[in-house]
Structure formats: structure tokens, C-alpha cells
Amino acid sequence: MLELFPEGFEEVDRGDIVELAGYVVGGGEDHLRAAFGEAVSEPVSDDWPDRWRSFHHGVRIGSLWVGPPWEPAPDGATAIVIDPGRAFGTGAHPTTRLSLELLQSLERGSLVDVGCGSGVIAIAAAKLGFDVIAAVDIDPAAAETAAANAARNGVELPIRTADAVTSPLPTADVAVANIAFGAIAALAPRLSVGALVASGYTTADRPEPAGLLHVRRATADGWAADLYRRD
């Protein structure tokens, strides 16, 4: 589907089947039929390029509000504006919300965001008063997106493109790693931090990072985030 519709497509669960839809201007169903053997086409309204915005709404996470640029933040909230059209993390996913929830319980100090994606966690940390000394991601496109979102929020982020599992990482008071479960196990022994906020996995998993004690777990919708402190 990405090859056929590089600008995007829609995936919808329909019980026992998954429906895939690509929005095109004339004749696009021929590509689907050639690839999958069966396709149905139907007209859509002229405003379809903008209708995806109706699916993205801001979320309140403690003192923070994370949302799209076309939606106003509530009074009294610290706003983190993320353009979901750039993907890599909008703040709406449970692992992002849980990470930000745990982050707000920590004393403000230096911080490194490993696997920064859109930059939402690093930007939020900066606005909360943390000294963000590094935002790291292996994907250059993610680093570019994080830089754009940081500028949108008036935050300066030291962004690095690197593989955190093999590249040197700075010493910090706190590390946040909202990444794959297996990657956390490889990353943890390389961190020189006093506390770690880890997420990116379901409640069925729990990392056991060497030298760190488990302090607290937060869960939502089958996802989990864990707070560890240096032993």
C-alpha cells in the first residue's frame, strides 16, 4: 500500500477482516486490482485531504496538553504543539502519555531522550524545566521532524542522529526511552543515569535493566511505562 499510495492510506478493522483504502484522483482502483485482485471504488467529498484532522485531538497529561496546531490548548495547561501530519509520535499514543505522566513526577534535572521520534517527550521535558542535553534517534527523518516541532514550540533541542545501542550517550539525571522492548534491554546497561523512564511495550512485558530498581508502573489500554532508579 505504501508503494501504491506513498502519500498515505487508511487501515480499518472490520471484525475478521482489515479494510485498506487509498485516496486517489481517478483510476487508482486499477492499481489496487492489479496488486490484490479485488477492489471497490466510491466517490468521496472534495474535502477528503483535510478530513484526517478530525481524528486528531489534543490530550491533557497532568500539567501538559499535547495537541495539533489547529486545536487550542485549555487554559492553564502547558501546550506541546505537534503536527500529526509529520507522524513519528503525536502524543496521543498511550506509551507517550504514560511516559509524560511518569516524567512529571521526577525532580527536574538533565535529561536524554532516546528514540525521540517527533520530539514530543523532549519538548515537553524542556517546557517542564528539564535540561535536555540530547534527543537521539536512529532515523534522520525523525530527527528532522523533531527539529521542526521544537522550533514550532519555541524550544531549542540538541538533536543527534545515532544508534543509541552502539553510539556513546551522555551522562544525565534522567533518560526516557519510549522504544521497542528488546531495544531497552540492550540500551539500559549503557546508560549513565540516575533514573530511567521506559515504555514502548505492553503490560505483558517488563524490562529488568541491570543496576536499576523498579519504582513505579503506569498502564493504559494494555500498554505500560516503568520508572527505574539507580541502585
Tally: H helices and E strands in the chain: 6, 12
Residue 141 — left, alpha, or beta (φ > 0 → left; ψ -120 to 50 → alpha)? alpha
What's the structural domain count of the chain?
A: 2
Q: Are strands 223-230 and 193-202 parallel, antiparallel or unpaired?
A: antiparallel
Helices 140-152 and 120-128 meet at what angle, rounded to 10?
40
User: Is there a single domain that holds both residue 36 and residue 107?
Assistant: no
* Confidence (pLDDT) at 32: 77
Query: Nearest Cα to 111, choosing from 100, 122, 124?
Result: 122
Q: What is the pLDDT of residues 177-221, one digit of tens each?
A: 999 999 998 998 899 999 999 999 999 999 999 889 999 999 999
- Residue 101 domain boundaries: 92-230
2 alpha-carbon distance from chain centroid: 20
Q: What is the pLDDT of residues 120-147, one digit of tens each?
A: 999 999 999 999 999 999 999 899 999 9
Which residue stretches of 28-79 are H helix? 28-36, 48-51
- Please check whether residue 76 lies inside any domain of the structure: no
User: Is there a single domain that holds both residue 113 and residue 219?
Assistant: yes
Q: What is the pLDDT of residues 67-118, one digit of tens each?
A: 999 999 999 999 999 986 645 567 788 999 999 999 999 999 999 999 999 9
Verdict on whether the full-model pTM lies above 0.85: no
- Please check whether residue 51 lies inside any domain of the structure: no
